[in-house]
Amino acid sequence: MEYFVQQLINGLTLGAIYALIAIGYTMVYGIIGMINFAHGEIYMIGAFMAVITFTALGILGLSWAPAAILVVLVVAMLFTSAYGWTVERIAYRPLRGSHRLAPLISAIGMSIFLQNYVQIAQGAKIKPLAPVVQGSIPLMTSAEGFTVSISYLQLIIILLTVALMAGFTLLIQRTALGRAQRACEQDLKMASLLGVDTDRTISLTFVMGAALAAVAGVMITMYYGVIDFFIGFLAGVKAFTAAVLGGIGSLPGAMLGGLLIGLIEAMWSAYFSVEYKDVASFVILVVVLIFRPTGLLGRPEVEKV
């Protein structure tokens, strides 16, 4: 029981991170109907921004953790958004209205490019980061002496994710930008006829997705303490699985899917095998697509001529 609760906490932490990445996939898919293959790399760039900024702050002598984390989050979100914006501007915008596979292939190319760009710019070795937040709160202890605890870092990750999700939902539902995004999602052409600046809306969607991915990158860096240029691939596929599981195009779906994938991965590693934990999410992806391609909360998609 205690072991299970501990895995639940670990899974929720992981799931929160996947959910943040999944939002980027699901929003882009909702609006322009393409899988942004480079999104995993954007997350990886966010993680590199985190290591670089933390190291820079360490050199500058800012060691008070809350301030450091705040600065890192802001810096990472800003610069990573710039990458998100540029990727859309270069690789996807010129291809709007092209044949179906073109943006997808361009996205794969962008993903390969960014991965190798970071590898060349920063080196292929793994980058370590000294723990920023330490300590944990013990929750309960079993008869055998196994203590369930939630670390401060896990608490920060979960709370920050919840706060971001809430803010994000408000942004989509209440602001003019959110309204424009929802209009574009329903019908891009009609929205542009009615005076919505679709190019700008799509750009901002990429910027927002990248900012959330940057937060995920910062948190995974603090959580695991090591990153390399290759982390974007697996995380990207898992987050995409989360988006599909929840129903692609649906924001609550992405959050739910992310949490489920995190939990499944934690439980799978705990009770079955660690070696095959990455296989688990792929298997889920395939199974979901076969039996419920619209996901848990998605709307059925009607193919039109």
Partner 1 sequence: MSARAGAGDAPGSPRARALPVAMALREAGLAAFVMAVLAFPLIGFVLADVSGGVTLRTRFEWVALASAIVFAGRFALAIMPGRVSLPFAPAFAAAGGALSRSGAGRWIGPALAGFALVLPAMPFSDRYIVDLGTSVLIYVMLGWGLNIVVGLAGLLDLGYVAFYAVGAYSFALLALHFDLTFWQCLPLAGVFAAFFGIILGFPVLRLRGDYLAIVTLGFGEIIRMVLLNWQEFTGGPNGLSSIPRPTFLGAPLARSAPEGTTTFHELVAPLMEPVYALFGEEWGFSPMHRIVWLYYIILALALVTNFFTLRIRNLPIGRAWEALREDEIACRSLGINPTNTKLSAFAIGAMFAGFAGSFFAARQGFVSPESFTYIESAVILAIVVLGGMGSQLGVVIAAAFLILIPEFGRDFAQYRMLIFGLAMVLVMIWRPQGLVSGREPSVRLHPEAR
List the x/- string, 11-50, binding to partner 1 by CB under 8 A: -----------------------xx---------x--xx-
Are 161 and 19 a contacting pair, CB within 8 Å?
A: yes
181 to each of 31, 77, 165, 185, 194, how far by Cα in Å?
7, 20, 16, 6, 13
Q: Exactly one of 8, 102, 155, 270 binds partner 1 (CB under 8 A); which one?
A: 102
* Relative orientation angle of helices 2-32 and 251-271, to the nearest 10 degrees: 140
C-beta of 290: minimal distance to partner 1 in Å?
4
C-beta of 216: minimal distance to partner 1 in Å?
17
Are 254 and 19 a contacting pair, CB within 8 Å?
A: yes
C-beta of 293: minimal distance to partner 1 in Å?
6
* 136 exposure class (CB count in 10 Å sphere: 0-12, 13-18, 19+): middle
Interface with partner 1, residue 144, by CB under 8 A: no
Interface with partner 1, residue 115, by CB under 8 A: yes
Query: Of 27, 5, 10, 32, which Cα lies nearest the Cα of 255?
Result: 27
C-beta of 157: minimal distance to partner 1 in Å?
23
Find the distance separating the first CA and the last CA of the chain, reported in whole Å.
Answer: 54
C-beta of 44: minimal distance to partner 1 in Å?
11
Interface with partner 1, residue 6, by CB under 8 A: no
Of the pair 143, 305, the CB lying nearest partner 1 is at: 305
Contact residues for partner 1 (CB under 8 A)?
A: 34-35, 45, 48-49, 51-53, 55-56, 59, 75, 79, 82-83, 86, 89-91, 93-95, 98-106, 108-118, 120-123, 125, 127-128, 130, 233, 237, 240-241, 244, 275-276, 278-279, 282-283, 285-286, 289-290, 293, 301, 303, 305
